[in-house]
């Protein structure tokens, strides 16, 4: 009888363990162990001065040069992998691909220098405190970004004039992300002008980029003469009036980031409004359709990863458990076989089913370097014990 009893207890115990969901700590360890292997494999496939971008339609690896707007995310992901595992070989790779971006500060750039430098040099400085190697590039890049600021319009310009578009001073919602470079440089060097450029851009965007429900237009074009709004439209969403998922993710992340860096209640309130709209409209599993107003079933893992990182950061600022719960839901889904690569798959990328520019049929249902970056960032930020 005693033996039967012990077997019954063991059976119940094993069933309970099997039925228990994976802890977020174990999930994070699983993903980062995979990431270390995948990103080492990915690095081995790269020629000198090339950066991973996505996969081509034929399944081969798509790479970019230094100038592509996402060139900094590979180094940034390597820094996150190093932050978790503290591997010297990963650190060496992160440093190599970071320093390869240094020539950017001497080239013509657009607003994306914030993405390129903050993800790479910003994380490098944060994790190593090596000011000699990294600080000067951060400040030089921030100054170049601030030079794109127009005090009449109160925003930094996204793209330079393009002949095929009737834009005078285009500003996209993505530009909110690049303000972190300005805020970081302002803190490092005590530069109030850089901070004020970032704050002014955030306030102007809050005024002009959002609809009454806190969904956002992708692009707002300003007059260079008087700063008035010339038009509001999309460049990558389904329609001018639709809710493009990654644009909404940029908005959530951007205002949460500004609230944290600046301590400003206006930015925090804006972030909460955007977050609450997303909580209403996200699908049950937390992974958005590439555009909330587009018929079809195409999801965008990159937008989910950005949102998860922002929701986690917003929970830290507000202690609103709804934001933590959504971040956890998104991270669990992204870490499932439906979205996470198998070891050796996707040429070394982590996440499947991302959408780059659907209207141009560019990078649709593929891995993307920035999706991996924000996925790893979100996992590092997530704290299941936070209340």
pLDDT at 269 over 60: yes
Q: How many domains does the chain have?
A: 1
pLDDT at 18: 55
Residues 261-285: what's their mean pLDDT? 98
pLDDT at 385 over 70: no
Strands 219-222 and 229-233, how do they pair?
Answer: antiparallel
1 in any annotated domain: no
Mean pLDDT lowest among 128-142, 156-170, 263-277: 156-170
Residues 6 or more apart in contact with residue 76 via CB below 8 angstroms: 119, 120, 123, 373
pLDDT at 253 over 50: yes
Residue 275 to residue 174: CA distance in whole angstroms: 16
Q: Output the six-digit token pair for 291.
A: 């555009």
User: Domain range spanning residue 259?
Assistant: 23-381
pLDDT at 281: 98
pLDDT at 211: 98
- What CATH number did the domain enclosing 248 receive? 1.50.10.10
Beta bridge partners of 289: 299
232 in any annotated domain: yes
Residues 165-179: what's their mean pLDDT? 96
Residues 240-252: what's their mean pLDDT? 98
pLDDT tens digits, 331-351: 999 999 999 999 999 999 999
What is the set of active-site residues?
112, 174
12 in any annotated domain: no
- Ramachandran region of residue 364, left (φ > 0), alpha (ψ -120 to 50) or beta? beta
- Residue 226 burial (10 A CB sphere; 0-12, 13-18, 19+): exposed
Residue 250 to residue 185: CA distance in whole angstroms: 21
pLDDT at 387 over 50: no
Q: Output the six-digit token pair for 197.
A: 């450029």
For residues 218 and 237, the answer to whether their CB atoms sit within 8 Å is yes
5 in any annotated domain: no
What is the distance of C-alpha 323 from the center of its chain?
17
17 in any annotated domain: no
263 in any annotated domain: yes
pLDDT at 384: 55
pTM of the predicted structure, to 2 decimals: 0.94
pLDDT tens digits, 19-35: 789 999 999 999 999 99
State what percent of residues in the chain have pLDDT above 90: 90
């Amino acid at each position: 009888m005693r033996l039967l009893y012990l077997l019954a207890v063991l059976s119940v115990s094993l069933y309970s363990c099997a039925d228990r969901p994976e802890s977020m700590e174990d999930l994070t360890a699983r993903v980062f162990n995979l990431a270390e292997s995948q990103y080492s494999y990915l690095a081995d496939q790269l020629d000198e001065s090339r950066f991973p971008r996505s996969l081509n339609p034929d399944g081969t690896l798509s790479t970019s040069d230094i100038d592509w707007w996402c060139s900094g995310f590979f180094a940034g992901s390597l820094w996150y992998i190093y932050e978790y595992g503290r591997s010297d070989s990963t650190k060496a790779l992160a440093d190599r691909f970071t320093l390869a971006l240094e020539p950017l500060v001497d080239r013509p750039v657009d607003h994306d220098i914030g993405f390129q430098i903050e993800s790479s040099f910003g994380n490098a400085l944060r994790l190593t405190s090596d000011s000699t190697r990294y600080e000067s590039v951060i400040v030089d890049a921030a100054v170049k970004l601030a030079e794109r600021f127009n005090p009449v319009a109160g925003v930094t310009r996204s793209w330079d004039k393009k002949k095929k578009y009737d834009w005078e001073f285009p500003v996209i919602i993505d530009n909110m992300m690049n303000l972190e470079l300005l805020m970081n440089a302002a803190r490092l060097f005590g530069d109030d002008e850089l901070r004020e450029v970032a704050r002014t851009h955030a306030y102007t965007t809050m005024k002009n980029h959002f609809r009454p429900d806190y969904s956002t237009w992708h692009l707002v074009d300003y007059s260079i003469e008087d700063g008035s709004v010339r038009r509001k439209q999309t460049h990558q969403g389904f329609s001018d009036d639709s809710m493009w998922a990654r644009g909404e993710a940029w908005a959530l992340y951007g205002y949460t980031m500004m609230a944290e860096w600046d301590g400003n209640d206006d930015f925090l309130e804006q972030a909460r409004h955007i977050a609450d709209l997303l909580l209403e409209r996200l699908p049950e599993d937390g992974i958005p359709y590439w555009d909330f107003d587009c018929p079809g079933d195409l999801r965008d893992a990159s937008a989910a990863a950005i949102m998860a990182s922002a929701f986690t950061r917003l929970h830290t600022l507000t202690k609103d458990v709804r934001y933590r719960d959504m971040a956890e839901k998104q991270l669990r889904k992204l870490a499932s076989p439906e979205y996470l690569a198998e070891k050796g798959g996707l040429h070394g990328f982590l996440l499947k089913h991302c959408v780059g520019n659907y209207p141009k049929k560019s990078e649709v249902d593929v891995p993307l370097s920035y999706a991996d970056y924000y996925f790893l960032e979100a996992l590092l930020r997530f704290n299941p014990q936070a209340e």
